[in-house]
Amino acid sequence: MEHTPTWLINSFIYLSAAVIAVPLSRALGLGSIIGYLAAGIAIGPWGLGLVTNVQDILHFAEFGVVLMLFLVGLELEPKRLWSLRRPIFGWGSLQVLGCVAAIFLLALLFGTSWPIALVAALGLALSSTAIALQVMGERNLLPTGSGQAGFSILLFQDVAAIPILALLPLLGGSSASNQALAPVEQAQEAIKIIAVIASIIIGGRLALRPLLRWIARSKTPEIFTAASLLLVVGIAALMQLVGLSMALGAFLAGVLLAESEFRRELETNIEPFKGLLLGLFFIAVGMGVDLGVLRSAPLQMAAIVIGFLSAKAAVIYAMARYLKLPFQERPVFTLLLAQGGEFAFVVFQAAAGSSVLPAQTASLLIGAVAVSMLVSPLILVAIDKLLLPRYANCGVTPMDEISEPQDAPILIAGFGRYGQIVSRVLLAQGQPCTVLDHDAEMIEAARRFGYRVFYGDATRLDLLRTAGAERAKVLVVAVDNVTQSLEIVDLAREHFPHLQIVARARDVTHWNQLRDREVMLVQRELFESSLLSARSVLELIGQPREAAEQVIHRFRQHNLELFEQLHPHYKDSAKLISVVKQGRQQLEEQMAREREDQARRT
């Protein structure tokens, strides 16, 4: 039996760890990044020891970050990038210099020598582009003010990493290996860098698009996919050759192709590779957490992590206030930029090689960065559950609750997209309504359009009394939160039994819960609109309008009758499935008979 190749075994280990850990992490509400990091720790040298060549894997997996920056660049047209020049260099330099100063002073305060304090500050001031952009993408934050500010700062950090690495030999003493480059060599390096960037820009304008058109004309999808990857790999290699950031070069290439006709196809081809390699990158970071250093100096490690996270958070939160970002976006913005970044690994390894940092200190700092990347997603979960709910109404003008008694015959709880349509129909008929909603921003917007909406939580009995529930005839429960909807119905049934209730059901389970409370007039929020869409499809494939309307009418009637049959059994899954299958079969047979009758008549 042949010996199984190492790459095949490692691939099996990585994929198995990801497939187990990531769904489990998401099921626990911790997010995918924690799953990848935990998988890395589990299979790494300090876990089960299944994989040991961590640095090789990390270097390979960094290509996931490169692909991610290329895709981000594809979303930015050159004009839009030019409009971001001020945020990139203004906010970016403010963040890097501010965080370097804060960490440097903090390190000096604890007796660290100034060269070590400076190198530590330069490395720790950088943030994780991979984690930050991944979280922003998952939360759709990139189009927001905080997303644009965060992206600009991360992009500047990629640029700033180049002079940071160039500065390290100057701090490493006077040994021959650490001498600074001679002026002539410095000029040559600068010319080489300018030439590479210029070639990417000019080549992207003049050569890339015709080349992609020529490849596309071959009508071979796999070759176009190969060309997409070759493009990114080639530019990354070119940037690496002159000592520049691979991710920055890929981003620049993406921007140059943002206006091309191949933008969407490039995204489609590269997205799967980006996702897998980015996951592998997070696994490699997890494997790289040196639990030995953590175990040998736990208090020192904790002090470094807490110290630099606190210093960066203070600077970044102050920036968020200065930039007037919304209160609700500030905690996530601060945390994503406060954590350490993957480029710090490169800085500290280079600093150890230049004798600026002792090997033990470099290991400690690398471990602190890895720990910060590990705990940041956990802190993010805590922010979501504990902090953001308190920030929900920050920065929103406080509103006075409904206080004057109302006497309209119709009371509507909730003025979202559902309640708005109900109230507009009634008002158009001259029917007075009292509308309650507890979203201050929604009420402000409604009042600008001339709607009279009162601020108040309809789950409170006192506010329902003030809104006129004792005198009203009809209560429309239009809130989208299922729990609040049921609380309002329970209050109305107990204290205002005369009210006729019309309710919005979010889904089938909500519908059944409302029927349990003897609410007979319940509408599922997407049911009618879905039927109208189905009717449109039938018409588009050739059915006459009258026939399509008859099909939809028959389906609606059958569905409502089936729901009435299902309601007594909705908690018994076996019975429920049996009745649903039987009902679907009956509907299909009935409609088949009707089609045959129609065919015979015509």
Mean pLDDT of 167-178: 55
**pLDDT for position 89:** 82
Rounded CA-CA distance 223/229 in Å is: 10
**What does the alpha-carbon distance between residue 23 and residue 16 come to, in Å, rounded to a whole number?**
12
Please report which confidence band the pLDDT of residue 312 belongs to, taking 50, 70 and 90 as the band edges. Answer: very high
Number of alpha helices (DSSP H) and beta strands (DSSP E) in the chain: 28, 6
What rounded mean pLDDT belongs to the chain? 78
Residue 400 has pLDDT above 60, yes or no: no
Residue 181 pLDDT exceeds 60 = no
| Burial of residue 73 (number of CB atoms within 10 Å: 0-12, 13-18, 19+) | buried
Contact present, 410 and 476 (Cβ < 8 Å) = yes
Q: Is pLDDT at 541 greater than 50 in this prediction?
A: yes
Q: How many CA atoms lie within 13 A of 156 on its CB side?
A: 22
pLDDT of residue 50: 79
Give pLDDT tens digits for 474-484: 999 998 888 88
Report the percent of the chain where pLDDT is more than 70: 81
User: CA 162 to CA 471: how far, in whole Å?
Assistant: 72
Which whole number is the average pLDDT over 319-344?
82
Residue 2 has pLDDT above 70, yes or no: no
Task: Count CB-CB contacts under 10 A for residue 532.
Answer: 10
- pLDDT of 188 strictly over 70: no
Q: What is the DSSP letter of 501?
A: E
Nearest to 419 by CA among 453, 449, 396: 453
Question: What is the reported pLDDT for 46?
Answer: 75
Q: Which positions ≥6 away from 250 have C-beta within 8 Å?
A: 66, 67, 69, 70, 73, 232, 235, 236, 239
Span 100-137, pLDDT tens digits: 999 999 988 888 888 888 888 888 888 887 778 778 87
pLDDT of residue 314: 92
Banded model confidence at residue 180, pLDDT cuts 50, 70, 90: very low
pLDDT beyond 70 at 141: yes
Q: Which of 107-111, 212-216, 426-430, 527-531 has the lowest mean pLDDT?
A: 212-216
- 104-108, long-range: CB within 8 Å, 24+ apart, which pairs? 106/307, 106/308, 106/311
Which residue is listed with tokens 């309209």? 408
Per CATH, the number for 54-388 is 1.20.1530.20
pLDDT tens by residue, 225-275: 787 778 777 877 777 777 666 766 777 777 777 767 776 777 777 777 777
Q: What is the largest CA-CA distance in the chain?
A: 100
Tokens 């530590």 sit on residue = 120
What is the pTM assigned to this prediction?
0.59
Sequence ranges of the domains in the chain: 54-388, 396-525, 542-602
**396-525 classified as CATH 3.40.50.720:** yes
- pLDDT of amino acid 501: 92
Dist. CA 139–CA 137, nearest whole Å: 5
Examine the pLDDT at 579 and tell me if it is beyond 70. no
pLDDT at 1 (0 to 100): 42
Q: Convert the pLDDT of each residue in 436-493 to its tens digit.
A: 888 777 787 777 777 788 888 888 888 888 888 888 999 999 988 888 899 899 988 8
H or E stretch including 272? helix 263-287
**Residue 176: band (very low, low, confident or very high) from pLDDT cuts 50, 70, 90:** very low
Please report the DSSP string for 71-133 in residue order: HHHHTS-HHHHHHTHHIIIIIHHHHHHHHHHHHHHHHHHTT--HHHHHHHHHHHT---HHHHH
